[in-house]
Structure 1
């Protein structure tokens, strides 16, 4: 097999491992909570810590690849991710599990972005489209295979095997990267924005992780608010730093581009609503309906099926109606399908439930595809790497915030009732809250000019858009 085909395949395998892991665990959260003798809501920390680790370390991935070589960083990322997987499988308590998920996130943050850079820098331009197509395969298959696979392993074996599966895959990936991935370095690498990395990392970690700690009965609420305060102060200092730095690690000047602002900030609100679904649905189906993890996974993967179906219709829809109209109308439709989760009941026919998930996945994926394309429509080539980092960070933060919001609503509802258990009606309130947050993104899309992205919608230009965000299908599920 030629290198221009083998390199994308190796990167795709790494992406598949990361995607599979992130979708498998959502189905297994109730079982993990029971085994670790923790409240199921407390397991939100396992999701938010991983996503937040991605957000904090993704911006540094490109610089490290340029400075130390793509092969060196890619191999190190696989080792870190695999080691984190092993430790997750051996965890005996929630604090250990959360710490090891953060370690996994560090590896994932370096692994996938650096893999993309390798493809963009090694594959001939005439082969680029074909090469990038490999990266969509794991993004499509991971969320489809993940929930039923995680449910099957958890129901018939042990949840720990979910993480142990990454060991042989990681070993094979390390060998293939060592043999076939070139060690590309940039001759002139600008100084690393270490101050920006520290400030943005503290800010993002403080805001999101502190918010996730709210509702944790083992943690004093004052401690959680103190962490949030530290995060807010750090982000304030970062904003001042970014305005005075030529090449900050997160370039806030990109927000001056109207399409990028709408595609990132508007989509972040939408993703807060969507990010809650992989947390809420398995809990509803297993704790509320009494289904096994395997049965739960067989139902929740329907969203990914709807998302895959949309890929064949997105371009014609955008050509026919334009970005602004699609984003506004589809935002409302997709948010309604989130709210439909409030109507799910154990006696509902499963075909109706699955049908709602398939349709919801279709419209959510259409929203993601539209915002992903529009975000980069007016971004210049020299701004592209900074824009992709910024958008990736915003995505991970918004998804982790969605998990925290959903968990906070569930905990607040049972606290209001004075009951330690989670009632079926608590899930209804949570679905309605996150749907309300998601639909608020429509106000950002209404501000777009009527012809926003018109040439892109008609296919007259092809901006240097990076491969589709891997989290799209995982979030949609």
Structure 2
């Protein structure tokens, strides 16, 4: 059973079912991960995998879906955008819903909604219907992971957080990498409906496990929903995500996308202003006063942009420039997964031995270096060298994301963990969405940039420039990491 807090203080809330809506994380928490905590962590990991897979796998089947529904492959982009937009808009609401209705009720409802919407997506008969159902699917996904992660961390001692987070983070690394290969196989040997039908058995297993494992009732003293904060925040994040989609579409005039992006930043500024002043804000920005949390949100967001771009660019490079098949390119991209898994057993040792500042800075440098290396790939590059480069990139992704997601909760007080979890999930989701949009934007910039610098351009040069540009966020994350104190994250190190 998930442990309830042993004490309560100002702002710390109990639930009426004996499980905490906030987290009892600190020196007094029980050390050592229980079998139930491990099971909950793996359950949330599975849900995270479903959510991330559905955010990327549809892109590979856009031509097939378009032909089936009688629309262009470009129009099918709305199916992806609707899903990502819904995630960005609704994630900030997850914290209040958890406090108001309880983690168990929200988590189970999210799984049911996501699974049912997946089944309905497979049965969609036109584009408008499919887009609407993707919105419902995104609503379920927006609630699953933030709520599940909050439950998984409940009752954990600080030194146990890295192991629990490592269970949850790996699907975010695997799903975008596996999607091109899985999507290629499904669209080659089956039809696009199976892109959604594969969620049905996964959802049923997740619901059965959640029914047994997840507990947590409503928190007492929950304030009213901050409707104005929800409107400003959702509008700002939604507009920012859609602006990224417009920038990624080569047919969109740049002034239109830039105008929407400016409006999005204005809305986000208004949301931040409101959240600082509201009596019961949707998200408590006071969590940003914790230095390690603030550094994790800012540095982790920059790191995520580079991470999300790699699985998008590599398959396009292999297929559009090198002329490789979807299956062959997808198989090579899977070496990112090899790096993710290969480094996992050593991640705890590395952070324990060298500290968070050193390892976060190193992961940023290695990720940027491997992206720069990808800029020099050609169709004649030995496959073993491509595999080694991509594997090293996967290892850097794994270390960096595990570090940022762990360090975020190192010094946050127990009574602010729910708000910290919501804010961190919102920032991560937004950065991941912008990362996917940043890849085609970098490609658009690559052509005129290489023409200006070299006097000529080509598709291969555009990809080279894109990889170089997308290495910059990783370097920005590195700079952010070097500003951490040497003792950052020491509470997490055994």
TM-score (norm 1): 0.81
Retained in 2: the 8 A contact 1:62–1:114? yes
Provide closer, same or farther for how the CA distance between residues 18 and 364 of structure 1 changes in structure 2, counting only shifts above 3 A.
closer
Structure 2 partner of 1:193: 226
* Preserved contact between residue 24 and residue 150 of structure 1 (Cα < 8 Å): no
1:450 aligns with 2:486: yes
Contact 2:64–2:192 (CA under 8 A) maintained in structure 1:
no
C-alpha spacing 1:203/1:144, structure 2 compared with 1 (3 Å): closer
Corresponding residue number in structure 1 for 2:359 = 326
Find the aligned partners of 1:51 and 1:183 in 2 and give their Cα distance. 28
Structure 2 CA distance for partners of 1:223 and 1:171, relative to 1, 3 Å: same
The DSSP-based 3-state class of the residue aligned with 1:191 is coil
By how many angstroms is 1:357 displaced? 0.9
Change (3 A) 1:343 1:155: farther
Deviation at 1:440, TM superposition (A): 1.8
Residue 255 in structure 1 maps to residue 288 in structure 2: yes
2:463 to 410, 427, 430: 427
Q: Retained in 2: the 8 A contact 1:24–1:149?
A: no
TM-score when normalising by structure 2: 0.79
Q: Is the 8 A contact 1:27 1:293 kept in 2?
A: no
Does the alignment pair 1:109 with 2:145? no
Contact 1:153 1:162 in 2 (8 A): yes
Shift in Å at residue 29 of structure 1?
2.4
Aligned to 2:194: 161
Offset of residue 78 of structure 1: 2.0
> How far, CA to CA, are the matches of 2:359 and 2:202 in structure 1?
40
Q: Is the 8 A contact 1:48 1:403 kept in 2?
A: no
Distance, in Å, in 2 between the alignment partners of 1:142 and 1:68 is 30
Could you list the per-position Cα deviations for residues 261-297 of structure 1 after superposition, in whole angstroms to 9, with x for gaps in the alignment? 2211012112111221122122222222333332222
CA contact 1:12–1:135 (8 Å) conserved in 2: yes
CA gap of 1:454–1:333, structure 2 versus 1, over 3 A, is: same
Number of the residue aligned with 2:385: 352
Aligned to 2:349: 316
Distance 1:112 1:158, change over 3 A: same
Give how far 1:177 is off.
4.9
User: Match of 1:363?
Assistant: 396
1:393 corresponds to: 426
CA shift at 1:203, angstroms? 0.8
Indicate the SS of the match to 2:202: helix
**What CA distance in whole angstroms lies between the structure 2 residues aligned with 1:215 and 1:359?**
27
Q: Over residues 118-172 of structure 1, what are the superposed CA-to-partner deviations in whole Å (9 max), with x where a residue is unaligned?
A: 55669999x9999888657866875676554333212222233111111343345
- Per-residue deviation at 1:319? 3.1
Task: Give the aligned partner of residue 454 of structure 2.
Answer: none
Q: Which moved more, 1:254-263 or 1:334-343?
A: 254-263
The total of aligned residue pairs comes to 453
Query: Which residue of structure 2 aligns with residue 409 of structure 1?
Result: 442
Candidates 24, 37, 46, aligned match of 1:16: 46
**Separation in 1 of the partners of 2:244 and 2:340?**
30
Work out whether 1:230 is the aligned partner of 2:266.
no
Q: CA deviation at 1:77?
A: 1.3
Question: Which ranges of structure 2 fall in alignment gaps of 5 or more residues?
Answer: 3-33, 452-456
**1:336 pairs with 2:372:** no
Deviation, 1:56, is 2.4
Unaligned runs of 5+ in 1: 460-477
Residue by residue over 1:213-245, the C-alpha shift from the partner in whole angstroms, topping out at 9 and shown as x without a partner, is 125355554543443233222212112111112
